[in-house]
Amino acid sequence: MVTVSIMVILLSVVLVNFGGLSKARNLNIARNITVSDIRRAQSMALASRNLTSGAQAGYYGLTFSTATPTQYQFVADSSAGVRQPVIVSTNLPATIILNSIRLTKPDGTIIYPTYLEILFKSAFGRTVMTYSGGGASGTKESDDVVRITYSSTADPTATITIDINGTTGNVNQ
């Protein structure tokens, strides 16, 4: 009886600790998938890969919106500026949501838009950002730094960030 009681106690401790690990694991998965998609968009832009329709690509990139915090889209525009159908919508792991988007301008101004498009210009890889909401909007070749923050709905204090430098295209995780 004592042995069974000890085993039950140990099993409950292990299960409680395992639940805490899944939050961190899901945050890491969300970050890794997003970073991989950002690098994929950069690679496709630098390679000047044509769109599936055969049209020449102008941009490849990702769109994020706090209105749909459980997913983001991989998108492309033709060289004529025509938006192609969404290439793929990526759902974040269970319990993970887009918490915030922060844009830091070169002068230090910080904006929290609700919508962000990070596009990479075909053949050159130059970053172009379109953003709106949070009291501001804009579209330009960007020297801004974007921080995407994911959080866990199970534990809102558990967050993870991805920084994208608009000048260099570097992605820091």
Each residue of 101-146: pLDDT tens digit? 999 888 888 999 999 999 998 877 788 888 888 767 777 767 789 9
Residues 6+ apart with CB under 8 A from 92: 30, 33, 69, 70, 71, 72, 98, 150
pTM: predicted TM-score of the whole model, two decimal places: 0.82
- Report d(CA 135, CA 141) in Å as an integer: 20
- Residue that has been written with the tokens 């230090």 in this structure: 108
Question: Within 10 A of 33 (CB to CB), how many other CB atoms are there?
Answer: 15
User: Considering the chain, what percentage of its residues have pLDDT values greater than 70?
Assistant: 92
- Cβ burial of 72 (10 Å; 0-12, 13-18, 19+) is buried
